[in-house]
Structure 1
């Protein structure tokens, strides 16, 4: 086998190896889909309180995003269910002395 053939075969193997890694990464992303839930917090009526709630939630391991609507206290939470459960999130909110008015499951 010539050096050129060996180089071509090595390139093919590198390509196949890289392709498998990409597929693995896509598969891993699919497995880590986020869950979205909406709750209403009575104590999130002004900007400072809303920022406190957002900060509290985004610091939790597994919470991807938290958005607070100051007008009605609506909080949209996106999280990885394989890292944290919805009940754990609710428990943490209540531990901080915040009042959950309503829980919607979406």
Structure 2
């Protein structure tokens, strides 16, 4: 069994409730979402067009891309509607000592 490498992504209080922010973690552009007290993480670039999801609109567990209004489920990365045809990658999250950590591998 391999060990999971957890990388610090942000302070927990830097992620506003029911909103999304963009951060760079391990050289990757990541979106962090706070929904109903839970933190989720995904790639920050839309799979359809080169738009940053952190510039989109978060409605519950759905992030709307600011470019073509496609929506993804932030819990799974699943593409929910046209024009999206490809999911985005999501990452495991843990909260420890008031900080958000991600497993990127």
Report the structure, 1 or 2, having the larger helix content: 1
Q: TM-score, normalised by structure 2?
A: 0.27
**Structure 1 length as normaliser, TM-score?**
0.27
Q: Which has the higher strand share?
A: 2
Q: Which has the larger radius of gyration?
A: 1
Higher-RCO chain (CA-CA 8 Å, sequence separation at least 6): 1
